[in-house]
Amino acid sequence: MLALHGTGVSDGIAIGKAYVLQRDLPEIPEYTIAHHQVETEIERLARAADAARRQLHTIRDHIPANAPAEASSFLDAHLLILDDKMLIPTAAETVRRERRNAEWALKGQSDRLSETFEKMDDAYLRNKRIDVNQVVERVLRNLLMPGFEEHLKVEPGEIVVATDLTPADTVMFKHQQVRAFVTSLGGPISHTAILARSLGIPAIVSVHNATRYVRPGEELIVDGKRGVLVVGPDKRLIAEYRRRQREIAREKRELNRLRLSPAVTRDRHTVRLMANIELPADVKAAVQSGAQGIGLYRTEFLFMNRPAAPDEEEQYRAYTKVVRAMRRKPVTIRTLDLGADKQVDGGQGARPVAVNPALGLRAVRLCLHDTSLFRPQLRAILRASAHGSVRMMIPMLSSQEELFRVLALVDETKSELKRAGEKFNPRIPLGGMIEVPAAAISADLFAPYLDFFSIGTNDLIQYTLAIDRVDDAVNYLYDPLHPSVLRLVAMTIQAGRRARIPVAMCGEMAGDPRYTRLLLGLGLNEFSMHPATLLEVKKIVRGSRLAALRKFAGRMLRLRDTQTVHDHVDRLNTEED
């Protein structure tokens, strides 16, 4: 018996036989082609890309009807990358200019794009290099292995162990009733993680060298919550985990009963639980979870994997679709949050890659620098506000000067729409994301000019602790309970309370049940999270007493040692449970 540890990214327990997926590419050759062979080589590259496109369409057509929206969204993203002029056309130009074979030219372009994404500050965008690599690998297989079999037959109930999985793999394996996924690579925001959570399949990522330690057909236990893979368990351990499976199933049934119940503490304090979404199709999951609105609509996904930015009308249609689907519940639309280092997506042109994109031209800075991106979005959001309860949110504010420039542009846009006879809500609430330490420290200076705050803990923690949570060398330092982080969160909530404006939280910390009671004690009364975690947070809210939690949070803010904070929070959660 062997226990391997990784990062649990989708809760649940699975027991079954191992299906070890080995999919190594042959070595990529490099050679020079004759002048008269150039066009033939470019045609060979085009045929391989066409084959990859057909394969992706076939997989998309076979997505189960009950699959979550994320499944088709990720496949659509791969199709868009395949059609991007920065990939196949640029590789073809390399073939023509340098007279190199198609495989080598494509791999070289893939490496350059991956390097660009690697330098990005935003963790999700940095993860897009995986999309590019997966699309390129598919084309390379068609070049090097014509007629390769897309998927080997996996028996129902098996557990897939692989180096990494593509969105297509994840969807098709679910269709084949795979019980769990285990990968050597990936992180909490990898496609395997996101799709596994959406599909309700236990999953562990970052189990280094998993394919080396697991043999095909070997009995496995996957504990998605603890991030533990047990290889060759004995009968006693299997019996224990089967008991846990029954307990988890019972807990899920109980959680589903809370969907329509109010999020109210035992001492009658109401809490608002909202959902984070990325695409209009995600609204379905938000509604099914019982979300009271959309606390974060990430609009940058409309701009990604396309040669040109979406125009005002396309954005207006997307925003309006979400607003109408939520049926008068609030929808918080965040303006574009991309970095200037993004060169392969809509509207970014050929700007140079920033040396340090974490401190560069991104989010509101980019929008103010290039108002040709910002103005159409402001118009679209304002027009969508005529159809429901819309709030606009500005990311990465760090100075009053930025805020005043945004307010001026919003006023200008309102005047333009009024002159044009367009309908909009002239009193649309305007809020700011608090995700830079400077904004948290100066929250009292921002508050008089804003209608609400929303704390973006993902960036706030990274900026405060000067670490990258997806960098294996330093991600152990990423700690939401670090005293400095808790003090910044408390300062923001207190500034909002003094200014009498609501304060929400939309980072991952808001959806992590470990922190729910502490955040309630700090005074947070609006949480926005992935729909999959909403009911568990609601259960904790309904079992809490706010008066006691306020005293507890006060004590936590006075502690100096991070480990002591962790110990107290763990003890609180254990006592309450």
Quick one: average pLDDT of 540-565? 94
The mean pLDDT of the chain is: 87
Residues 217 and 358 in one domain: no
Task: Examine residue 249 and state whether it is found in any structural domain, yes or no.
Answer: no
> Where among 188, 208, 237 does a domain terminate?
237
Helical spans, DSSP H, in 186-282: 191-199, 210-213, 235-256
User: Are 382 and 410 members of one domain?
Assistant: yes
More confident residue, 119 or 538: 538
Quick one: 204 and 281 in the same domain?
A: no
Of 144, 166, 197, which marks where a domain is finished? 144
From residue 208, how far is each of 66, 72, 186 by CA, in Å? 32, 29, 10
203-229 pLDDT, tens per residue?
999 898 898 899 999 999 999 989 999
The C-alpha atoms of residue 429 and residue 402 are separated, in whole angstroms, by 18
The reported pLDDT for the residue numbered 71 is: 60
pLDDT at 343: 35
Contact (Cβ atoms closer than 8 angstroms) between residue 127 and residue 77: no
Residue 378 covered by a domain: yes
Question: Model pTM?
Answer: 0.71
Q: What is the pLDDT of residues 407-419, one digit of tens each?
A: 999 999 999 999 9
Give residue 229's pLDDT: 96
The answer to whether residue 242 sits within a structural domain is no
Marked catalytic residue, from 78, 367, 506, 530 = 506
Does 432 share its domain with 296? yes
Query: What pLDDT does 189 receive?
Result: 59
Segment 489-493 mean pLDDT: 98
Q: Are both 227 and 278 inside the same structural domain?
A: no
Residue tagged active-site, from 78, 191, 387, 530: 191
446 in a structural domain? yes
* Position 24 confidence tier, pLDDT thresholds 50, 70, 90: low
pLDDT at 564 over 90: yes
Q: Residue 21: its pLDDT value, please?
A: 84
Residues 76 and 280: beta-carbon distance below 8 Å: no
Q: Over the stretch 291-328, which tens digit does the pLDDT of each residue have?
A: 999 999 988 878 865 667 889 999 999 999 999 999 99
Note down the domain range covering 60. Answer: 35-144
pLDDT reported for residue 470? 57
CATH number at 215 reads 3.50.30.10
Higher-scoring residue by pLDDT: 129, 382: 382
pLDDT of residue 375: 95
Strand 272-277 relative to strand 526-529, pairing: parallel
Provide the pLDDT confidence category of residue 63 given band limits of 50, 70 and 90. Answer: low
Residue 290 banded pLDDT, cuts 50, 70, 90: very high
- Same domain (yes/no): 127, 7: no
CATH number at residue 456: 3.20.20.60
The answer as to whether 467 is a domain residue is yes
Confidence of residue 84 (pLDDT cuts 50, 70, 90): confident
Are residues 318 and 413 located together in one domain of the fold? yes
- Residue 206 Ramachandran class (φ > 0 left, ψ -120 to 50 alpha, else beta): left
Looking at residue 342, its pLDDT comes to 36
Q: Is 137 exposed, middle or buried (0-12, 13-18, 19+ CB in 10 A)?
A: middle
Question: What's the CATH code of the domain at 97?
Answer: 1.10.274.10
* Domain closes at, from 126, 144, 162: 144
245 is a domain residue: no
Same structural domain, 272 and 232: no
Does residue 495 lie within any of the structural domains?
Answer: yes
Q: Is residue 244 part of a domain?
A: no
Whether 191 is a known active-site residue: answer yes
Q: Do both 298 and 336 map to the same domain? A: yes
Contact at 8 Å (CB) between 181 and 160? yes
The angle subtended at Cα 142 by Cα 136 and Cα 143, nearest 5°, is 85
Number of domains in the chain: 3
- The model's confidence at residue 548, banded by pLDDT at 50, 70 and 90, is very high
- Per-residue pLDDT, averaged over 540-554, amounts to 95
